[in-house]
Amino acid sequence: MEADPYRREREEMVEFQIRARGIGDERVLAAMRKIPRHLFVPKNLERAAYEDQPLPIGEGQTISQPYIVAVMTEQLEIRSHDRVLEIGTGSGYQAAILAELAGKVVSVERLAHLADRARENLARAEVTGVEIVVGDGTQGYPPEAPYDAIVVTAASPEIPGPLVEQLAEGGRLIAPVGPRECQDLVKLVKREGSVETVPLGGVCFVPLIGQFGWQGEISP
């Protein structure tokens, strides 16, 4: 890995943007302290990588705000042997955080160019244990199902049915659900075949475009 000129910024991000807002899971905090977020943003935005905001990553897409990554990761309650599915690879940053905590991470990205760049970002950050798949993540990824945890990092009008089907017994699913601009972050827990839903608050995500998400002419 390259020399790390941003260690202090990253520690401050964790303390002041994440721990101070109530994220207490030490494994999540350690992962966010470790993963070099500046390697997952475009070079010209590197100096903004530890600010409290999403950033553009090309193709009209974004790397999510660090705090939102932390909330979603904590709520997934990942154990070290868990199999995790992410929908919306984007930069690969969320996948890198998940890989610190889980046994196996599969991440599905609709746009091949972003998937290629995410693979490069993960390699530069020396993150292993992530399989990136190009495809329509609203259909999940049946070959590796069932998953102990599923996180959707783009928003759809409803939670795609295939994702609920591919969730293991006891599994947790986090997704932004609602209208185009801003949505509710929702947590589903599957218990004895039925699904319990917990609202986690308001968020604003880019659209999840595919068979069980937004369709048609919406530009990416």
At residue 145, the 3 state secondary structure works out as coil
Q: Which residues make Cβ contacts (< 8 Å) with residue 140, sequence separation at least 6?
A: 85, 87, 108, 150, 160, 162, 163, 165, 166
Pick one of 75, 138, 166, 183: the residue that binds ligand SAM (CB under 6 A): 138
Pick one of 84, 114, 149, 173: the residue that binds ligand SAM (CB under 6 A): 114
Do you find a cis peptide bond into 36, omega within 30 degrees of 0? Answer: no
Give whole-number Cα distances, 6 to 39, 49, 58, 157, in Å: 10, 9, 23, 38
Pick one of 111, 122, 186, 203: the residue that binds ligand SAM (CB under 6 A): 111
Contact status: 148 vs ligand SAM (CB under 6 A): no
Shortest Cβ 126–ligand SAM spacing (Å): 17
Task: Determine contact, residues 61/53, Cβ cutoff 8 Å.
Answer: no
Per-residue contact string for residues 162-201; x = within reach of ligand SAM by CB under 6 A: ----------------------------------------
Contact status: 213 vs ligand SAM (CB under 6 A): yes
Q: Angle 137-102-69 (CA atoms, 0-180°, nearest 5)? A: 65
**Interface stretch with ligand SAM, choices 18-26, 27-35, 57-65, 98-106 (CB under 6 A):** 57-65
Contact status: 109 vs ligand SAM (CB under 6 A): yes
Compare residues 82 and 153 and give the one whose CB is closer to ligand SAM.
153
57/67 Cα distance (integer angstroms): 18
Pick one of 6, 136, 147, 148: the residue that binds ligand SAM (CB under 6 A): 136
Among positions 60-99, residues that touch ligand SAM (CB under 6 A) are 61-64, 87-88, 90-91, 93-94
Nearest in space to 175 (alpha carbons), one of 154, 197, 146, 206: 154
The tokens describing 201, both together, are 């608050």
Q: Angle 94-90-144 (CA atoms, 0-180°, nearest 5)? A: 70
Compare residues 170 and 202 and give the one whose CB is closer to ligand SAM.
202
Contact status: 36 vs ligand SAM (CB under 6 A): no
- Contact positions vs ligand SAM (CB under 6 A): 61-64, 87-88, 90-91, 93-94, 108-111, 114, 136-138, 153-154, 205-206, 208-210, 213, 220
